[in-house]
């Protein structure tokens, strides 16, 4: 196929801030996890699909199948939809005291929920 460019599970974006490998990154309507570190404005590959352990808000709990949202201001996952980016689904339970939640990114364009 002449017009195929790439699978799309990894895309290169300009880092919106300095990022480390494993950090969540939001650029426009794209959410992904940084493959490596990059300075603000530098090209950084991000994974837009896959399963990742991501930091979460301390008091939030998730059951398997719960929607997971990204708080761009806090740089962590949250169960709160309003004002946050829907990024995927919890694939393992996470209690309120857990530091991370295991998320299957759905790789779709995202905007903050109303």
Q: What gap in Å lies between CA 53 and CA 26, rounded to an integer?
A: 17
Q: In this structure, what is the dihedral angle of CA atoms 52, 110, 73, 69, given to the nearest 10 degrees? A: -50
In this model, does residue 71 exceed pLDDT 80?
Answer: yes
Q: Do 112 and 29 touch, CB atoms closer than 8 A?
A: no
Q: What gap in Å lies between CA 100 and CA 61, rounded to an integer?
A: 10
pLDDT digits (tens, 9 = 90+) for 39-53: 999 999 999 999 999
pLDDT digits (tens, 9 = 90+) for 29-42: 999 999 999 999 99
Q: Do 75 and 57 touch, CB atoms closer than 8 A?
A: no
In this model, does residue 114 exceed pLDDT 80?
Answer: no
Give the position of tokens 């759905």: 106
Q: Do 15 and 44 touch, CB atoms closer than 8 A?
A: yes
């Amino acid at each position: 196929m002449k017009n195929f460019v790439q699978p799309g599970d990894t895309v290169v974006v300009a880092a919106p801030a300095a990022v480390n490998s494993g950090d969540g990154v939001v650029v426009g309507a794209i959410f992904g996890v940084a493959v490596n570190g990059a300075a603000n404005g530098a090209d950084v590959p991000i994974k837009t699909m896959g399963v990742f352990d991501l930091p979460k808000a301390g008091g939030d709990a998730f059951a398997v199948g719960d929607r997971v949202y990204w708080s761009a201001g806090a740089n962590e996952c949250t169960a709160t939809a309003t004002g946050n980016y829907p990024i995927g689904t919890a694939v393992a339970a996470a209690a309120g005291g857990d530091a991370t939640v295991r998320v299957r990114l759905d790789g779709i364009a995202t905007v903050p929920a109303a």
